């Protein structure tokens, strides 16, 4: 796995701004989950497709996203 995105799902407000900036379109709101604030939190479906660009994390108004990348594989 080249990259990994971690969401602090309890802090997510489900606004969906991260979805608009993901070039790989792999982020979606998890309708099967409701966090403690009552929102459907964002999650990544297909982590293997993530390129670790961190657009989602930069766009997130609540700073709930951390992005890691395996630098050696670059």
Partner 1 sequence: MAIVYQKSKGLTDLEMHYCPGCTHGVIHKLVAEALVDLNLLEHTIGVAPVGCSVFAYNYFNCDMHEAAHGRAPAVATGIKRVLPQNTVFTYQGDGDLAAIGTAEIIHAAMRGEHFTTIFVNNAIYGMTGGQMAPTTLVGQKATTAPHGRDRAHYGQPLHMAEIMATIGGAAYSTRVTVVDMPHMMKARTAIRKAFQMQMEGKGFTFVEVLSTCPTNWGMTPVEALGWVKDTMINEFPLGVFKDADSKEGS
Question: Does 13 participate in binding partner 1 (rule CB under 8 A)?
Answer: yes
Figure out which of the listed residues 7, 9, 15, 30 binds partner 1, where binding follows CB under 8 A: 15
DSSP code of residue 62: T
Listing DSSP states for 15-59 in one string gives --HHHHH-TT--EEE-TT---TTS---EEES-GGG-----HHHHH
Q: Output the smallest distance, CB 32 to partner 1, in A.
A: 19
Question: Does 69 participate in binding partner 1 (rule CB under 8 A)?
Answer: yes
Residues at the site binding partner 1, with contacts judged by CB under 8 A: 4, 11, 13-17, 19-21, 39, 52, 54-55, 57-63, 65-71
């Amino acid at each position: 796995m080249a990259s990994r995105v971690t969401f602090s799902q309890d802090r997510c407000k489900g606004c969906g701004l991260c979805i608009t900036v993901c070039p790989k379109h792999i982020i979606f709101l998890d309708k099967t989950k409701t966090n403690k604030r009552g929102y459907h939190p964002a999650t990544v479906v297909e982590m293997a497709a993530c390129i670790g660009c961190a657009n989602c994390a930069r766009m997130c108004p609540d700073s709930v996203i951390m992005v890691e990348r395996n630098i050696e594989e670059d």
